[in-house]
Amino acid sequence: MFAYLARRLAVLTMLAVAAIAGSPERSAAAEPDKLNIAVILSAGIDNAWDGTLIQALERAKAAKPHGLEITWKYTDPLWGDDAGDAMRLFAESGEYDIIWAHSTYSDQVKKLREEFPEILFVVVGSGNEGLGGNQYWVYKRVHEPAYLLGYAAGKLSKSNKLGAVGTFPADDVNDEINAFFAGAKAANPAIERSVAFIESWYDPAKAGEYTNAQIATGADLIFQLTGNFKPCEEAKILCFGNFQDQTSFSPSTVLSSAVAQWDPDVRWIVDEWWAHKAEGKPYAGNTEKRWFGMKDGGSALAPNPDLQAKVPEEVQAEIEDLKSRIMAGSFEVPIDASDPKAK
């Protein structure tokens, strides 16, 4: 108990110092020229989920939407009461315009949003509740590039067996895996699937164990959602990365990656905050999931240029055609968030 209280006190002290000492001076202009964001992280910036958001914020800072000088502070990974305490400290400091809680935090936001009606709160991904008002619900789907990865895998597989290793079974994980196998089946109806979840955001040992098990049963390409490519290297097979360009993780095995891009999500939230602050419009947070697809810049495909010679030119052309149709809106990748292990 004492260790727990000491840890909580350390977290609160760290955040209080950051909120007071590190916050920029507020503008007195009628139209704001500064936007300060507090970011609650769930896994840390080395994780693709959190790291890709920070990269998008960097791009927004450079773009300066509405002429805004955008700054932010992010926390270490926080959950439960620690995350709620951090949000309260940021809110009470009076220095933060947006509190972006980058995962399943609607329970914590529910306790704060009416007390701080001028702050725009953001929650992200599955497991959240759409509260509306000054809470916005950002969602991310990368099922479209995952479909393209699967199409490539279906064309390239010699064993007709493909594997996928995920973190947790969830709506916005299942949709990727199901889309991957849908693409594979479209390319090769004989494809057989194997799916495993490590039930953790980060467990390299378990990820390696499950990947090796799939390879042992004949899978010769793996959709790797856990970031452990060592088994693919040892087996000398190709893998696919997830949520960021993971070529640098394993240049010899990562053929391509499905990439999450938060740029349109960030712009949407900044525009909503601007409309409230500069134009007096009430916050109107969404109560249903909202995401931006490939054609809107919400996701992308990141091929490894050094391995593209392993993909026949006719297959590359087919994938490019599919991608062009997705971008044009003439081909829709269905969303299937059902349990992929039950198929």
The 3-state secondary structure of the chain reads CHHHHHHHHHHHHHHHHHHHHCCCCCCCCCCCCEEEEEEECCCCCCCHHHHHHHHHHHHHHHHCHHHCEEEEEECCCCCHHHHHHHHHHHHHHCCCCEEEECCCCHHHHHCCCCCCCCCEEEEECCCCCCCCCCEEEECCCCHHHHHHHHHHHHHHCCCCEEEEEECCCCHHHHHHHHHHHHHHHHHCCCCEEEEEECCCCCCHHHHHHHHHHHHHCCCCEEEECCCCCHHHHHHCCEEEEEECCCHHHCCCCEEEEEEECCHHHHHHHHHHHHHHHHHCCCCCCCCCCCCCCHHHCCEEEEECHHHHHHCCHHHHHHHHHHHHHHHHCCCCCCCCCCCHHHC
Domain range annotation of the chain: 2-140+262-280, 143-260+295-342
Instruction: Decide whether 2-140+262-280 matches 143-260+295-342 in CATH topology.
Output: yes
pTM of the complete model: 0.90
Q: What is the pLDDT along the chain (343 residues), one digit of tens a residue?
A: 333 334 454 444 445 444 433 444 443 347 899 999 999 999 999 999 999 999 999 999 999 999 999 999 999 999 999 999 999 999 999 999 999 999 999 999 999 999 999 999 999 999 999 999 999 999 999 999 999 999 999 999 999 999 999 999 999 999 999 999 999 999 999 999 999 999 998 899 999 999 999 999 999 999 999 999 999 999 999 999 999 999 999 999 999 999 999 999 999 999 999 999 999 999 999 999 999 999 999 999 999 999 999 999 999 999 999 999 999 999 999 999 999 997 7
CATH placement of domain 2-140+262-280: 3.40.50.2300
Architecture of domain 143-260+295-342: 3-Layer(aba) Sandwich (3.40)
Confidence (pLDDT) at 45: 94
